[in-house]
Amino acid sequence: DADVTQTPRNRITKTGKRIMLECSQTKGHDRMYWYRQDPGLGLRLIYYSFDVKDINKGEISDGYSVSRQAQAKFSLSLESAIPNQTALYFCATSLGLEAFFGQGTRLTVV
C-alpha cells in the first residue's frame, strides 16, 4: 500500500461545484502539503500544515481551503470550482525538508 494515498485519482466536476480532495498518510509525519502541478509551471504550494492545529497558506491559496482532520489526514477543498483550477494536485508529507508525494489527483473543471 502507498504511504501517501490520495482520493479520488481522477475527477471531473462542473464549474461552481464544491469538491474535496483527500489525502491520508501512514508515514507518521507531522508535516503535510498540497501542491498543484501545471505544465511548464512545476509544482506550486497551495497550503501546508505542520501539525493538526497549524495551517499555513502557500503561494497560490486563493480559491482553496484545507482541513487537517488528524495527523494522518489533510484534505483540500475547492469551494466553487472554476475551469482554471483544472490541474494535477499532489499531497505530500515530510519530517523535515524531504517530501514524499502521493500519486496525484487529476481534476478537470468543465
What is the C-alpha separation between 41 and 26, in angstroms, rounded? 29
Of these, 42, 53, 70, 84, which contacts another protein (CB under 8 A)?
42
Which range touches another protein (CB under 8 A), out of 15-23, 63-71, 72-80, 91-99?
A: 91-99
55 is a contact residue toward another protein (CB under 8 A): no
Q: Does 76 bind another protein (CB under 8 A)?
A: no
AA letter at 53: K
Q: Please report, for residues 9, 12, 38, 89, the alpha-carbon distance to residue 42 in angstroms, rounded to integers and kept in the order given.
A: 19, 22, 6, 11
Q: Is 90 in the site for another protein (CB under 8 A)?
A: yes
Cell numbers 480532495 correspond to 21
Whichever of 20 and 101 has its CB closer to another protein, that residue is 101
Q: d(Cα 11, Cα 71) in Å, to the nearest integer? A: 25
For binding to another protein (CB under 8 A), which residues are involved? 4, 33, 35, 40-45, 48, 50, 58-59, 90, 92, 97-104
